[in-house]
Amino acid sequence: MNQQTSDRAPILQARGITKRFPGVVANDQVDLDLYPGEIVALLGENGAGKTTLMNVIYGLYRADEGEIWVDGEQVALNNPGDAIARGIGMVHQHFQLVQPMTVTENLILGAEITGRLGMLDFNRARRRVQQLSDEHGLVVDPDAIIEELPVGVQQRVEILKALYREARILILDEPTAVLTPQEIRDLFRVMRGLAERGHAIIFITHKLREVLDVAHRIVVMRGGRLVGHALPQESTQQSLASMMVGREVILQVPKGVAQPGPVVLNVDRLQVVDDRTAGAGGRHLAVRDASLHVRAGEILGVAGVQGNGQTPLVEALTGLLKPTGGTVTIGGTDVTHASPRARTMLGMAHIPENRHRYGMVDEDPIRDNLVLDTYHQPPFSRRGLRDDEAIDANARRLVEQFSVHTPSIDTPAGSLSGGNQQKVVVARELGRPIKLLIAAQPTRGLDVGSIEFIHGRIVEQRDSGVAVLLVSAELDEILSLSDRVAVMYEGEIIATLDAAEATRERVGLLMAGVREEAVAAG
């Protein structure tokens, strides 16, 4: 417990919370206390039960067993309306804002202030929004249009929305997932300010560095149970990771100095449009004159806040989207307009950011998913006929080599856990000879154990002479794996740095759109 709150009664108590789903006990007799003025970090692997517990506290789920107490009174939270009435607010990872509306309009939805004759008193509501913004240092223009605001400011609006509804308990679910380092620091300033004013905050994250920076207390869940408490001043990232997983975890895969060879992937002045419109009905230019190259035996990381053109860039490089300008070559062969299969035949492997859409067929067995891009080649096909024996042997080999936990190679891929689904995709792409690996958000949504495994495989590929293009919104992932870092902002590659120059501060400023010359000038 935080020293400054140790003499107070809990504002929130959860006792014996148990929540079952068919075949799964998501929460098993979980107890949790939260005190006014403290920030509690809730840690755990995927499937540990964190989100289920928070959904119970916010009224999205009803517990099968257990009690919730607010201000010393047992309460029934049958829906989010009940939770809000008790002063509980939740800021979800994916913002729930109406993009074309103003800040004030978003905040008053469902909580309108009315005047005489029941008419909406918009001016009074606007003044309340401004007051809350000033009081908590959230710096938000009440008249700003949501879609015109940076992601970090949109998150402030979400927090303001909870405060507008008089929340004293705030649940923040992965609040830093799409923020730059500078925006994260600003969020932590706001969180500390709220705690100083007596608000209580539950902070769900998988970023251990942040937990140690901002939390007063740390609670760890594993397998639906609460397995430990910790204080930041007595903890390390390593000790927290081990508590989460139940074993020792390597947080940063050791890698020596890269030995780059010839250029494998070369991208010159690439332009890609997407489905959004850009004024006068024109199509939006999502990638703008992007140029980069990746050599054999190196990892080039592409950093950037999600939504700055990384997805269309990867789709154009892998043949899923046709560019409108520029060139792409693999091993000197022009593949600008080539199909994904043609690129695969040249030695390209692709770990897509959306494995369900592009990386696997959920209903098909693991054995078939492991040959999706090679089923037409020997030894899996001979004279146009499928060789089931070879396909089965391949599946057994890769399941063992990549530690895929499954009852059988005939198990549908979609029935596996998220980490094992990703391992199936990685095993297929890396289980054959390749020259180029394009890995997009390869560890998104995975726990620290699965992240450790996949990072190790990526570094192995680099060390074997493969050219690796790593695209990730996780700055820690980019900085720990990359030999060079390219920063993408509003569709442009605005800077490329050697790893030694790519400090967290410098890359963070570039991610926010501060140009290299301004960064260099200090």
Q: What is the pTM of this model?
A: 0.75
CATH 3.40.50.300 domain locations along the chain? 3-245, 254-347+434-522
Distances (CA, A) of 438 to 44, 333, 479: 29, 17, 17
Q: Three-class SS of residue 222? A: strand
Tally of CB atoms within 10 A around 483 = 23
Host H or E run for residue 510: helix 504-511
Q: For the chain, state the CA radius of gyration.
A: 25
- The burial of 17, by beta-carbon neighbours within 10 Å (0-12 exposed, 13-18 middle, 19 or more buried), is given as buried
Longest dimension (CA), the chain: 82
Q: Rounded to whole angstroms, what are the CA distances from 432 to 59, 462, 468?
A: 48, 14, 15
CA distance 242 to 228: 11
**What is the per-residue pLDDT for 183?**
83
Per residue of the chain (522 residues), give pLDDT as tens: 444 444 679 999 999 999 998 888 999 999 999 999 999 999 987 778 898 999 999 999 999 999 999 999 999 999 999 999 999 999 887 788 998 999 999 998 877 676 666 677 888 889 999 999 888 888 889 999 998 887 778 888 999 999 999 999 999 988 887 777 888 888 899 999 999 999 999 999 878 889 999 999 999 999 899 999 999 999 999 999 899 888 887 777 888 889 999 999 999 999 999 765 454 455 779 999 999 999 999 999 999 988 899 999 999 999 999 999 999 999 999 999 999 999 999 999 999 998 888 899 999 999 999 999 999 999 999 888 999 999 999 999 999 999 898 889 999 998 887 778 999 999 999 999 999 999 999 987 677 878 888 999 999 999 999 999 999 988 889 999 999 999 999 999 999 999 999 999 999 999 988 876 655 555
CA 490 to chain centre: 19
Give me the amino acid identity at 343: R
Q: Which fold has domain 254-347+434-522?
A: Rossmann fold (3.40.50)
> Is there a contact between 89 and 170 (Cβ–Cβ < 8 Å)?
yes
Contact assessment for residue 441 and residue 473, using Cβ atoms and an 8 Å cutoff: yes
Q: How far apart are CA 476 and CA 210, in angstroms?
A: 11
| 379: preceding bond cis by omega (within 30 degrees) | yes
pLDDT given for residue 516 in this prediction: 62
Strand 65-70 to strand 12-21: parallel, antiparallel, or no bridges (unpaired)?
A: antiparallel
* pLDDT score of 191: 93
Element at 314 (helix H, strand E):
helix 310-317
Q: Write down the architecture of domain 3-245 according to CATH.
A: 3-Layer(aba) Sandwich (3.40)
